[in-house]
Amino acid sequence: MAALFKARKVLGLAMGCSKRCLTQLAELPEIHQMLRQTCRDFADRELAPIAGKLDKEHAFPAKQVRELGEMGVMAVEVPEELGGAGLDYLAYSLAMEEVSRGCASTGVVVSVNNSLYIGPILKFGSEEQKKQWITPFTTGEKVGCFALSEPGNGSDAGAASTTARQEGDEWVLNGTKAWITNSWDASATVVFATTDKSLKHKGISAFLVPMPHPGLSLGKKEDKLGIRASSTANIILEDCRVPQGNLLGQRGMGFKIAMQTLDCGRIGIASQALGIAQAALDCAADYAHKRIAFGAPIGKMQAIQFKLADMAVALESARLLTWKAALLKDAKKPFSKATAMAKLAASEAATFISHQSIQVLGGMGYVTDMPAERHYRDARITEIYEGTSEIQRLVIANQVLKEYQP
Amino acid sequence: MLCTPILSTTHTHIFSLSQIRVKPDHSGVVTDGVKHSMNPFCEIAVEEAVKLKEKKLIKEVVAVSCGPTQVQETIRTALAMGADRGIHVEVSGKDYETLGPLQVSKIMAALAKKEEAQLVILGKQAIDDDCNQTGQMTAALLDWPQGTFASEVAIEGDKMKVVREIDGGLETIQISMPAVITADLRLNTPRYATLPNIMKAKKKKIANVKPADLGVDLTSRIQILSVNDPPQRQAGVKVETVDDLVAKLKETGRI
């Protein structure tokens, strides 16, 4: 009886916010439509034509990032007084999807700057820290990065072995961070280090470190399967000293900061996956009209039609989950389960859709003349970073079980 | 330095370039369900107007578009680029199908007088009908000087210096204001609306006006007889020598 009551209570909570959300899920408000169109125009004209070249040359899209900064896309949620666009997370999700549809690498640069670097400072930083560490990073001139993972732990974030010790009025950081996106192009980073290993995850704190900085060096740029225009490398800290004031939030708050940051970051990555998936679907559907086989365009064949239908359903479902997560966050309602579901659905949709897109293109899908092979390579990482699909499943299961707690 | 309002037309609300199909009755092209957007030359016109305002050479930019309710999206795009307010001249149904440069220029002339504009900037031509007439007709109706195919525009006191792209190269003229300018490709590179400006555009006003309110008669002087697809491209013929080529050309009556 009690279980039934609790379950109904949860249902009521979910229904409460749904009235406004549902209309927005069916059709976006006018501003969001305009915003989406503007980002799409930018992506079509400035990103899509060079995405292949950026990928081949592993070249950071500095000019495009600056232009996105001018448009306000590098700091969507940041209030206007601090130099941002002052918009909501639904707007951010739409901007991310359109940018990623043009170029997935540019998408991840935008996402890391918005959600992983600016995100925690906006939420946990002092007014002084926000002015110093956010405002210069809203224009696209500078980007930031997020250093949580280490060679010894990715999913196991609580086991951080990078240390921070206090010496006078300075913090001294030692350790190595791995897989840091934007590292070679960043001007600052949020670093997670432990001040007391015995406290396990409760001993972790977050620090703001400028780049370049004495005691901070970069490992080699990783040679990746996809998102090659964004840099990924180790960050090595050897007696790296930062002032007291560079502690973000309170001592011991680091793990909480990291987890809450990743919750929001998931909406960004889900949106990136949606963009890649949409680009792959566009490619396949267009080809289905033009390619003639057995006397007719291949789009007339059921085998191809069924593929396109499955791709479209996977994409649209993931998109709705992503918008729902963004709307819940904007409404300040609990959104952890929604973002985990969005990231899981979108990343798996992206790998499925880009895989099928190559299949629809046949031999043409396998060569670099068509973008299908790049979408396939770009999609793969979305199931791994910012929380692997396995971690997302744990988060979701945790939430589901909570709802049925006897 | 003049501080004056300027009208910038976004009247050309054109259809997207892909997949145009002729209507089965050959009376025109299918426009239902086709994506419409601002004419690229009009985007350049709006950009120039906004730039002049940013240089404080003009006071206010008013974006104008003629057509059905859909065109309000185009006006909002102009507002997001930096125009101050918009005017939507409602023309729909049969009137919209026959709306051409003559009718639009009458509307623009009436509005320019009503708004006491000092400058009217339009795109040089719409990329759907390629008429290249509206700017010139508007200037004639107002009896104002015109600077068409502008690739550079400068306000100097109460005069304008306009560099025009003409067949022989570049021509620089000086015209007095009020004047009509039509924008050519190299005048500027239109900006992408920033996200905050898109938000602000929502609050800017778009006034609704009917052509009758402006005393404009929309009757068309032109009757469209038929619209047809261009003929299918035929295969070419290969020849071995120049002599064969000349013979073939003579044979088919080309020379």
In tens, the pLDDT along A282-325 reads 999 999 999 999 999 999 999 999 999 999 999 999 999 999 99
Cα Rg of chain A (Å, integer): 22
B215 and B155 Cβ atoms separated by less than 8 Å: no
Rounded Cα distance between A102 and A105, Å, is 9
The beta-carbon neighbor of B192 closest among A31, A41, A76 is A41
Question: What is the CA B209 to chain-centroid distance, rounded?
Answer: 19
Q: Is the pLDDT of residue A126 over 90?
A: yes
Residues of chain B neighbouring A87 (CB-CB closer than 8 A): 195-196, 199
Q: Nearest 5°: phi and psi at B112? A: -60, -40
pLDDT band at B98; cut points 50, 70, 90: confident
- What average pLDDT score do residues A160-187 get? 96
**Average pLDDT, rounded, for chain A:** 93
Catalytic-residue membership of A81: no
Q: Determine whether A165 is exposed, middle or buried from the number of CB atoms within 10 Å of its CB (0-12, 13-18, 19+).
A: middle
Residues of chain A neighbouring B81 (CB-CB closer than 8 A): none
A191 and A178 Cβ atoms separated by less than 8 Å: no
pLDDT band at A106; cut points 50, 70, 90: very high
Residues of chain B neighbouring A41 (CB-CB closer than 8 A): 192
Question: How high is the pLDDT of residue A8?
Answer: 43
Among chain A, residues having any CB pair with chain B shorter than 8 Å are 30-31, 34-35, 38, 41-42, 67, 70-73, 76, 80, 85-87, 91, 95
**pTM, two decimal places:** 0.87
pLDDT band at A5; cut points 50, 70, 90: very low
Question: Cβ of B244: how many Cβ atoms within 10 Å?
Answer: 12
Nearest to A140 by CA among A238, A187, A70, A89: A70
Residue A330 identity? D
B164 and B170 Cβ atoms separated by less than 8 Å: yes
Q: Which of A388-392, B193-197, B224-228 has the highest mean pLDDT?
A: A388-392
Question: How high is the pLDDT of residue B232?
Answer: 86
- What average pLDDT score do residues A213-237 get? 97
Question: How high is the pLDDT of residue B234?
Answer: 86
Rounded Cα distance between A61 and A45, Å, is 14
Residue B52 contacts A where some CB pair is shorter than 8 Å: no
Question: How high is the pLDDT of residue A400?
Answer: 96
Residues of chain A neighbouring B76 (CB-CB closer than 8 A): 30, 34
Size of chain B in residues: 255
Question: How high is the pLDDT of residue B14?
Answer: 57
Over residues A369-380, the pLDDT tens digits come to: 999 999 999 999
Q: Which residues contact A173 (CB under 8 A, 6 or more apart)?
A: A162, A163, A164, A191, A193, A207, A209, A215, A237, A239, A240, A241, A242
3-state class (DSSP) for residue A403: helix
Q: Which residues contact A344 (CB under 8 A, 6 or more apart)?
A: A389, A392, A393, A396
Determine the residue among B16, B70, B192 to mutate to test chain A binding: the one whose Cβ has the most chain A Cβ atoms within 10 Å.
B192
pLDDT band at B13; cut points 50, 70, 90: low
3-state class (DSSP) for residue B46: helix
pLDDT band at B21; cut points 50, 70, 90: confident
Question: How high is the pLDDT of residue A21?
Answer: 56
Nearest to B197 by CA among A330, A80, A140, A81: A80
Q: Which residues contact B96 (CB under 8 A, 6 or more apart)?
A: B67, B68
- Quote the tokens at residue A396: 């979701």
Question: How high is the pLDDT of residue A369?
Answer: 94
> Which listed residue (A27, A97, A386, A403) is catalytic?
A386
Cis peptide upstream of residue A334 (ω within 30 degrees of 0): no
pLDDT band at A20; cut points 50, 70, 90: low
Q: Determine whether A58 is exposed, middle or buried from the number of CB atoms within 10 Å of its CB (0-12, 13-18, 19+).
A: middle
A199 and A252 Cβ atoms separated by less than 8 Å: yes
Question: What is the CA A81 to chain-centroid distance, rounded?
Answer: 25
Nearest to A279 by CA among A36, A9, A1, A48: A48
Sign of the C-alpha dihedral, residues B82, B87, B92, B98? negative
Q: Is the pLDDT of residue B31 over 80?
A: no
H-state helical runs in chain B: 40-54, 71-81, 93-97, 101-115, 134-142, 195-201, 242-251
Question: How high is the pLDDT of residue B94?
Answer: 83
| Chain B residue at shortest CA distance from A79 | B196
- What average pLDDT score do residues A120-149 get? 97
Distance from CA of A222 to the nearest CA of B (A): 34
pLDDT band at B17; cut points 50, 70, 90: low
Q: Is the pLDDT of residue A150 over 50?
A: yes
Rounded Cα distance between A393 and A159, Å, is 20
Q: Determine whether A260 is exposed, middle or buried from the number of CB atoms within 10 Å of its CB (0-12, 13-18, 19+).
A: middle
Distance from CA of A83 to the nearest CA of B (A): 10
Q: Which of A15-29, A140-154, A164-178, B221-235 has the lowest mean pLDDT?
A: A15-29
Cis peptide upstream of residue A371 (ω within 30 degrees of 0): no
Rounded Cα distance between B191 and B246, Å, is 52
Over residues B229-247, the pLDDT tens digits come to: 888 888 888 889 999 999 9
Q: Is the pLDDT of residue A356 over 90?
A: yes
| Chain B residue at shortest CA distance from A70 | B194
Rounded Cα distance between A330 and A23, Å, is 15
B50 and B71 Cβ atoms separated by less than 8 Å: no
pLDDT band at B18; cut points 50, 70, 90: low
